[in-house]
Amino acid sequence: MSQGGGMDFNLAEEVLAVIPTDTYEQLDLARKITSMAIASRVSNMEGKMGRMRAKMYEKDHIIFELEDKLSTLQQLNQDAESRFKIAFEENIKLSEERDSLAMTAKKLSRDFSKVRLKILILFALIFFSRD
């Protein structure tokens, strides 16, 4: 830019050839170039933002589906726990009933042995008393 003020900004001769010599025109050109650069940058950022927004919606949809699956699995787990609790309580009752029946069977077996012994004694008394 040695044309206007003696400073050199390491610009190619082709660029220096098209830059106006008037400083106000140079500032106007710089403003236009800056506006174009900003507009291009904004456009790129808006594109990125649109893609990011689409990804965000996709992720939100995945999150919604996962939350729905989680809710379903929690309900299934709750149902399974409830059935397990009922089965466990029923198992305890059946174990207690089995133990009670085993005691009753043992008692009946002892009673049967006593009755059998008494019947044998009674038959023996009847049989031997006839003679």
For the residues 49-62, what does the mean pLDDT come to? Answer: 98
- Stronger pLDDT, 13 or 107, i.e. the higher one: 107
pLDDT, one tens digit per residue, over 100-119 is 999 999 999 999 999 999 99
67 by DSSP, 3-state: which? helix
Average pLDDT, the chain: 93
Predicted confidence at residue 1, as pLDDT, reads 41
Instruction: Report the distance separating Cα 106 and Cα 109, nearest Å.
Output: 5
According to DSSP, residue 6 is labeled S
According to DSSP, residue 20 is labeled -
Predicted confidence at residue 2, as pLDDT, reads 45
Is the pTM here over 0.85, yes or no? no
- Stronger pLDDT, 103 or 17, i.e. the higher one: 103
Stretch among 7-11, 21-25, 86-90, 101-105 having the lowest mean pLDDT: 7-11
For the residues 78-89, what does the mean pLDDT come to? Answer: 98
Q: Is the dihedral of CA 82, 88, 91, 93 positive or negative?
A: negative
Q: Distances in Å between the alpha carbon of 109 and those of 55, 74, 90, 103?
A: 78, 51, 28, 10
